[in-house]
């Protein structure tokens, strides 16, 4: 088929590559305009545009496609059979949706109607969904409201962050698009309602509808009074941007584990052992368990924090592993973080960089 591809971020690149590898004729690519990025604010193309140029494909970058009728006409003149959209970043107007004979199809990273909108991967992690997936959806004027042609679910790992989950979903999106296009072609052109009926698409139910709202700056600040599982989910979902205050400096939290005993099978061996020692209800006074090596501390000779510490308090320094930190529920283990102006560090390197001791506080701007 002749395909006009619409996409912008790195998430969409595997879909572009999959369509090219499958032998479809890519007549062009539409992407967001170049943006200034990085410390030097250099003007750079989107990942999709950069890859499209490497593939020798023509690229257009509208500022606002709905306000550019001349560009709309240029796109129609390309003669694409179908438009494929993956994380383009603008809403296509009705006159564009009506152009291709085989319709406009979107690869969306959620199990619709859960998490319509621009941030489905982040919110599926933040809210602790057990699974997510990809849907190939016929596009309508509404935001992610169209009927679904293909859908595939995948489980979400407890220790999986947004970047890792996004990479899996990006690959799956490309696979499903390659699977969907022959079916779309076989159904033939014609009036939309007839095409969709021949394809046997599934209308989205209203039950279970949720929207992935745009993230605000405040969303990235960790609230240590939340449960340990909620803190961990936010760190994973907002990777690499969740942060807290550490002795007057911003500390990005990059990898955590919730020290919840019932989840021990899903934790690293180090975290599972710490969960057994520290995974107590928040209302229970914390006791200092005997160290396996004969000492009286929970982590390699470090003193324990006082009983019932405030959320954000360092409970223990686990040598070679990270910081055990109190929350409004079970503690979390901080395994990797990045202090403002420094490189990301993990394990013992992180402990040395922070110089933390039991009783220190995260999230307190007055601390230190």
**CATH at residue 105:** 3.40.50.170
Q: Which of 212, 234, 256 is the last residue of a domain?
A: 212
Residue 337 inside a domain? The answer is yes
Are 77 and 94 in a shared domain? yes
Residue 280 inside a domain? The answer is yes
Distance CA 317, CA 322 (A): 6
DSSP state of 361: B
- Report the number of distinct structural domains present in the chain: 2
Are 304 and 321 in a shared domain? yes
Which run of H or E residues covers position 190?
none
Which pLDDT tens digit goes with each residue over 104-113?
999 999 999 9
Q: Outline where the chain has alpha helix (H).
A: 13-21, 47-54, 69-77, 94-97, 120-126, 162-187, 192-199, 228-237, 269-278, 347-354
Are 150 and 243 in a shared domain? no
Instruction: Tell me what pLDDT residue 289 has.
Output: 33
Q: Are 121 and 165 in contact (CB under 8 A)?
A: yes
Are 182 and 222 in a shared domain? no
Distance CA 346, CA 332 (A): 15
Residue 37 binned pLDDT confidence (cut-offs 50, 70, 90)? confident
Instruction: Tell me what pLDDT residue 44 has.
Output: 95
Report the Cα–Cα distance between both ends of the chain, in Å, rounded. Answer: 63
Instruction: Tell me what pLDDT residue 40 has.
Output: 77
Are 236 and 191 in a shared domain? no
Residue 39 inside a domain? The answer is yes
Instruction: Kindly state the average pLDDT of the residues 34-54.
Output: 92
Whole-prediction pTM value? Answer: 0.90
Which pLDDT tens digit goes with each residue over 252-284?
999 999 999 999 999 999 999 999 999 854 333
Residue 17 binned pLDDT confidence (cut-offs 50, 70, 90)? very high
Residue 132 inside a domain? The answer is yes
Residue 368 inside a domain? The answer is no
Residue 366 inside a domain? The answer is no
> In terms of residue numbers, what domain contains 30?
2-212
DSSP characters over 241-302: --EEEETTEEEEEEEEEE--GGGGGGS-HHHHHHHHHH---TTSPP--PPPTTS-SSSSTTP
Distance CA 256, CA 336 (A): 7
Per-residue tokens: 233: 């989910």
Q: Determine if residue 277 is left, alpha or beta; phi over 0 gives left, psi from -120 to 50 gives alpha, anything else beta.
A: alpha
- pLDDT higher than 70, residue 299: no
């Amino acid at each position: 088929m002749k395909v006009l591809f619409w996409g912008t971020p790195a998430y969409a690149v595997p879909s572009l590559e999959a369509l090219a590898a499958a032998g479809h004729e890519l007549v062009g690519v539409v992407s967001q305009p170049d943006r200034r990025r990085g410390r030097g604010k250099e003007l750079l193309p989107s990942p999709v545009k950069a890859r499209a140029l490497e593939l020798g494909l023509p690229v257009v970058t509208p500022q606002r496609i709905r306000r550019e009728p001349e560009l709309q006409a240029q796109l129609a003149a390309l003669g694409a059979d179908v438009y494929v959209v993956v994380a383009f970043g603008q809403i296509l107007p009705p006159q564009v949706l009506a152009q291709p004979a085989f319709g406009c199809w979107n690869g969306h990273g959620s199990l619709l109607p859960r998490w319509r909108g621009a941030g489905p991967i982040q919110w599926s992690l933040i809210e602790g969904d057990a699974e997510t997936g990809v849907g190939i959806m016929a596009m309508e004027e509404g935001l992610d409201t169209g009927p679904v042609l293909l859908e595939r679910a995948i489980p979400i790992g407890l220790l999986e962050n947004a970047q890792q989950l996004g990479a899996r979903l990006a690959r799956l999106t490309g696979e499903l698009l390659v699977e969907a296009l022959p079916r779309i072609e076989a159904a033939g052109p014609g009036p939309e309602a007839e095409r969709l009926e021949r394809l046997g698409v599934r209308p989205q139910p209203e039950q279970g509808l949720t929207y992935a709202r745009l993230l605000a700056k405040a969303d990235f600040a960790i609230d240590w009074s939340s449960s340990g599982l909620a803190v961990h989910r936010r760190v994973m979902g907002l990777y690499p941007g969740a942060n807290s205050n550490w002795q007057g400096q911003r500390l990005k939290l990059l990898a955590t584990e919730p020290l919840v005993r019932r989840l021990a099978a899903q934790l690293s061996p180090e975290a599972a052992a710490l969960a057994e020692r520290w995974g107590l209800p928040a209302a229970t006074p914390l006791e200092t368990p005997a160290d396996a090596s004969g000492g009286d501390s929970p982590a390699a000779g470090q003193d324990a924090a006082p009983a019932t510490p405030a959320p954000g308090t360092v409970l223990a320094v686990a040598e070679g592993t990270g910081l055990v930190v109190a929350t409004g529920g079970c503690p979390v283990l901080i395994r990797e973080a990045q202090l403002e102006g420094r490189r990301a560090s993990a394990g013992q390197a992180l402990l040395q960089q922070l110089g933390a001791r039991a009783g220190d506080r995260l999230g307190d701007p007055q601390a230190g």
